[in-house]
Amino acid sequence: LAKTTQPISMDSYEGQEVNITCSHNNIATNDYITWYQQFPSQGPRFIIQGYKTKVTNEVASLFIPADRKSSTLSLPRVSLSDTAVYYCLVGISSGSARQLTFGSGTQLTVLP
Amino acid sequence: NAGVTQTPKFRVLKTGQSMTLLCAQDMNHEYMYWYRQDPGMGLRLIHYSVGEGTTAKGEVPDGYNVSRLKKQNFLLGLESAAPSQTSVYFCASRPTASYEQYFGPGTRLTVT
């Protein structure tokens, strides 16, 4: 199965906007894209979900182009407490099969 | 609401031993999932269930079995543990109407 790929790590300063992109070339036709945040020794926590275009909630925005082969999580004005690993989760198609697949994860470090 | 709970939190097994991990959710969710997360890695789907009495294979099902006899419980079994199954196991659930998954706190399993 084709994988979903993300940058391994990113650094940012407090107060900046951070954009993390996930590539998913073989996303299943009807699947939504979801993003999660994970702190050490904890289970992932849901951030946002979307199917196409732009979605915004109280903590993040999600941008999805028309071809849906990638998605970008945008975190406005990050703080030190946003230091975590961020994952995308999508359904990936391979022939007639569909497999729910997490991205490799992006370690975001927010610096003071 | 307790959300998603997992039992036990920690376990050490010897090669060849068997055990069952229990996941329970009190949100009346239809979908339930078992993932494994190896050190420094993303999550990989082992098995999932789309409703009571149903199960399906994920990306890495070999060496594991599951059962969903009650809607609120999803059991993951290891019949003959191997060192390669040393990992953190996460359970998750979601409602039919959303792709948001709710994760449990994880079970840390070591096979020696």
> Which tokens in the block code for residue A50?
């979307």
What average pLDDT score do residues A77-82 get?
Answer: 97
Residues of chain B neighbouring A42 (CB-CB closer than 8 A): 105-106
**B77 burial via Cβ count (<10 Å: 0-12, 13-18, 19+):** middle
Of B35, B59, B92, which is closest to A99 when you measure between CB atoms? Answer: B59
Give the Cα separation of A63 and A19 in Å (integer): 10
The DSSP H or E segment spanning A25 is none
Distance CA A90, CA A74 (A): 17
Instruction: Give mean pLDDT, residues B89-94.
Output: 98
Q: Tokens for A20, please give them.
A: 């993390």
Q: Does A50 touch chain B (CB under 8 A)?
A: no
B98/A1 Cβ within 8 A:
no
For residue range B15-70, list pLDDT tens digits in order: 999 999 999 999 999 999 999 999 888 999 999 999 999 999 999 999 999 999 99
pLDDT digits over A32-75, tens only?
999 999 999 999 999 999 999 999 999 999 999 999 999 999 99
Nearby residues of B66 by Cβ (< 8 Å), 6 or more positions away: B34, B46, B47, B49, B55, B74, B75, B76, B77
Per-residue model confidence (pLDDT) at position B46: 97
> Among partner residues B59, B99, B102, which is closest to A101 by beta-carbon distance?
B59
> Does residue B100 carry a pLDDT above 70?
yes
- Mean pLDDT, chain A, rounded, equals 93
Above 70 in pLDDT, residue A1?
A: no
Determine contact: A23 vs chain B, CB below 8 A: no
Please state, as a whole number, how many other Cβ atoms lie within 10 Å of the Cβ of residue B66.
23
Is the pLDDT reported for residue A2 higher than 60? no
